[in-house]
């Protein structure tokens, strides 16, 4: 049976060119990265810093680890940080900011990841008041996963920077899918990242590496983050073997390939809209399509029925199902998905 795996862009596997790069490694090109001696990791970190437009970068095991070391490096235990209420750091990183960082979390509401700055201002603590913890970091997610891969535009990130500066906050950008934002807007990625003090992006999502993420920022920030990475078990020794995939992933050709995923997501979204069903198809900017049930349904029943029809997807709430396009999904898969999702929904709604 045909299976179309639309659960996440994390299910992607490396391209032939990536495998070639890994196969061409030899022992001279790997070393102990905890000692800074892995030439391939060093090359990846230099390349990543250049591409993302920051002084320095650090190869980390995952996006979750990258966000955590970014928070640890820019805050102190007992500080309060501002996270969007549906952000990955708040919802899906096992509360590490609180448990490991000793941080208080204050969530902000938003319109697709963008807060009202007036509302946000009310959340900032009074440093002069002896009773209050200091607010020290503001985090933004771009593209925003739970808001359907929505893009936050550079001028809005600039406003966030100004807000952060005014309130003496560090600005962290969870850019797990920041290249989707750049490709979606057709702007160089540093147009978006230049306003952030720290950026995390994933190699293992749309860029289709098997493992790894990058944290980037000033040299001072990265030297702190390197130490925290060690603390949380991210010292990976001969990690050049996995960093080699990333060197190919950061080539412009591979970054621009994300446009195919966006095109497929648009076709999927339009195809689902064209079927007359009691669902809302949320607008899609990039590679994530969210549908929302308008009737009271058992969502897991629908997910199971989709799985039986060969369409793999996750429900992200009791009403919403998320489909993610990625490397390995082609136009035929999309047409098949539209047809099968339509049949399953018609039968189950
Ligand atoms: C927005 C966002 N940030 C961070 C992460 C964490 O990445 P990882 O799964 O590599 O820990 C994800 C993963 O899905 C994500 O969607």
Q: Which structural domains are found in the chain, ordered by start?
A: 16-254 (3.40.640.10), 258-348 (3.90.1150.10)
pTM: 0.97
Q: What is the pLDDT of residues 314-335, one digit of tens each?
A: 999 999 999 999 999 999 999 9
Any ligand 1 atom below 6 A from CB of 145: yes
Q: What is the pLDDT of residues 164-201, one digit of tens each?
A: 999 999 999 999 999 999 999 999 999 999 999 999 99
Q: Give percent of the chain above pLDDT 70.
A: 100
Q: Ligand 1 center to residue 263 CA distance, Å?
A: 22
What pLDDT, on a 0 to 100 scale, did the predictor assign at position 142? 98
Any ligand 1 atom below 6 A from CB of 202: yes
Q: Ligand 1 center to residue 216 CA distance, Å?
A: 16
What pLDDT, on a 0 to 100 scale, did the predictor assign at position 295? 83
What count of residues does the chain have? 349
Query: Closest Cα to atom 8, ligand 1: which residue?
Result: 63
Any ligand 1 atom below 6 A from CB of 136: no
pLDDT at 297 over 90: no
Q: Give percent of the chain above pLDDT 90.
A: 98
pLDDT at 144 over 90: yes
Contact between 266 and 336 under an 8 Å Cβ cutoff? The reply is no
What pLDDT, on a 0 to 100 scale, did the predictor assign at position 296? 85
* Angstrom distance (rounded) from CA 242 to CA 81: 32
Any ligand 1 atom below 6 A from CB of 234: no
Q: Ligand 1 center to residue 186 CA distance, Å?
A: 23
Q: What is the pLDDT of residues 249-277, one digit of tens each?
A: 999 999 999 999 999 999 999 999 999 89
Average pLDDT over every residue of 38-62 = 98
Q: Ligand 1 center to residue 32 CA distance, Å?
A: 26
Q: Ligand 1 center to residue 23 CA distance, Å?
A: 28
Any ligand 1 atom below 6 A from CB of 144: no
Any ligand 1 atom below 6 A from CB of 287: no
Mutate to test the pocket of ligand 1, among 12, 64, 204, 324 (most ligand atoms within 8 A of CB): 64
User: Helix, strand or coil for residue 321?
Assistant: strand
Q: Of 9, 7, 20, 140, which is closest to residue 82 (Cα–Cα)?
A: 140
* Angstrom distance (rounded) from CA 328 to CA 315: 21
Q: What is the pLDDT of residues 224-256, one digit of tens each?
A: 999 999 999 999 999 999 999 999 999 999 999
Ligand 1 atom at minimal distance to the Cα of residue 64? 11
Any ligand 1 atom below 6 A from CB of 180: no
* Angstrom distance (rounded) from CA 110 to CA 317: 18
What pLDDT, on a 0 to 100 scale, did the predictor assign at position 177? 98
pLDDT at 77 over 90: yes
Any ligand 1 atom below 6 A from CB of 63: yes
Average pLDDT over every residue of 3-23 = 98
Average pLDDT, whole number, for the chain?
97
Q: Of 249, 255, 264, which is closest to residue 186 (Cα–Cα)?
A: 255
Q: What is the pLDDT of residues 194-221, one digit of tens each?
A: 999 999 999 999 999 999 999 999 999 9
Query: Closest Cα to atom 16, ligand 1: which residue?
Result: 145
Q: What are 302's two structure tokens?
A: 């629908």
Contact between 82 and 109 under an 8 Å Cβ cutoff? The reply is no
Contacts with 313 (C-beta within 8 Å, 6 or more apart), sequence order: 6, 7, 303, 306, 321, 322, 323
């Amino acid at each position: 049976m045909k299976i179309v795996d639309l659960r996440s862009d994390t299910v992607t596997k490396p391209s032939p060119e990536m495998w070639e790069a890994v196969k061409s490694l030899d022992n001279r090109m790997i070393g102990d990265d905890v000692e800074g001696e892995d030439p391939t990791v060093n090359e990846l970190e230099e390349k990543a810093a250049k591409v993302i437009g920051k002084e320095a970068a650090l190869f980390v095991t995952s996006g979750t680890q990258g966000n955590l070391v970014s928070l640890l490096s820019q805050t102190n235990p007992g500080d309060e940080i501002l996270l969007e209420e549906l952000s990955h750091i708040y919802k899906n990183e096992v509360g590490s900011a609180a448990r490991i960082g000793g941080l208080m979390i204050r969530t902000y509401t938003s319109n697709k990841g963008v807060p009202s700055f007036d509302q946000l201002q009310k959340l900032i603590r009074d440093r002069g008041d002896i009773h209050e913890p200091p607010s020290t970091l503001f985090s933004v997610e771009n593209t925003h996963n739970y808001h359907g891969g929505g893009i936050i535009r550079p001028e809005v990130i600039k406003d966030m920077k100004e807000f952060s500066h005014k309130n003496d906050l560090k600005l962290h950008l969870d850019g797990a899918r920041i290249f989707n934002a750049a490709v979606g807007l057709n702007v160089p990625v540093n147009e978006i990242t230049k306003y952030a003090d720290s950026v995390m992006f994933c190699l293992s999502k749309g860029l289709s590496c098997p493992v790894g993420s990058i944290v980037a920022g000033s040299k001072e920030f990265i030297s702190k983050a390197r130490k925290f990475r060690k603390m949380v078990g991210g010292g990976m020794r001969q990690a050049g073997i996995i960093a080699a995939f990333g060197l190919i992933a950061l080539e412009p050709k591979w970054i621009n390939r994300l446009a195919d995923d966006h095109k497929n997501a648009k076709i999927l979204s339009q195809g689902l809209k064209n079927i007359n069903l009691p669902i809302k198809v949320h607008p899609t900017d990039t590679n994530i399509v969210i549908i929302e049930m308008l009737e009271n349904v058992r969502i897991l029943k629908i997910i199971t029925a989709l799985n039986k029809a060969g369409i793999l997807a996750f429900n992200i709430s009791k009403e919403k199902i998320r489909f993610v396009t990625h490397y390995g999904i082609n136009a035929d898969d999309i047409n098949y998905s539209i047809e099968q999702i339509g049949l399953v929904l018609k039968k189950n709604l």
